[in-house]
Amino acid sequence: MSLSAVIGDTMYLHQALVQPDRQEFIKAMIKEIHTHQEWKHWAVMPIEEVPKGTKILDSIWAMCRKRKIGTGKISRYKARLKAHGGQKEYSIKYWENFAPVVQWTMIRLIMMLTMIQDWHTRQLDLG
């Protein structure tokens, strides 16, 4: 698999909708919306029903083709709706966002422990 294929696998909505596999991205978007509704993160409502004066945050769709490492074949499609967190108002549900991040020093430490202890590791994509 070429590097250009990997680079071309991450895109915005307008780019994904002109791809030959656009229907797969649309299915991924529907899945993303349904998952958020199931987990009660938010509810979809017509713009006319939004109370007057309510601030609606801008958002973008981030699309991605996920590939199998060994073969480079597409294994699944992902669509993530990302809200513009910089538009949030301080003190109004301000601390409710969470994005787990790991530092490289922790990854190196864990990898060193796996080598010392002769443990087995696996790579997972949880996003």
Summarize pLDDT for 8-49 with one digit per residue, the tens.
799 999 999 999 999 999 999 999 999 989 988 888 889 999
User: pLDDT at position 2, please?
Assistant: 52
Q: Say how far apart CA 37 and CA 40 lie, in whole Å.
A: 5
User: pLDDT at position 15, please?
Assistant: 95
> Could you tell me which of 105, 99, 106 has the C-alpha nearest to residue 126?
99
Q: Which residue has the higher pLDDT, 109 or 90?
A: 109
Average pLDDT over residues 73-98: 75
User: pLDDT at position 91, please?
Assistant: 62
Does residue 109 surpass a pLDDT of 70?
A: yes
R_g (Cα) of the chain, nearest Å: 19
User: pLDDT at position 4, please?
Assistant: 43
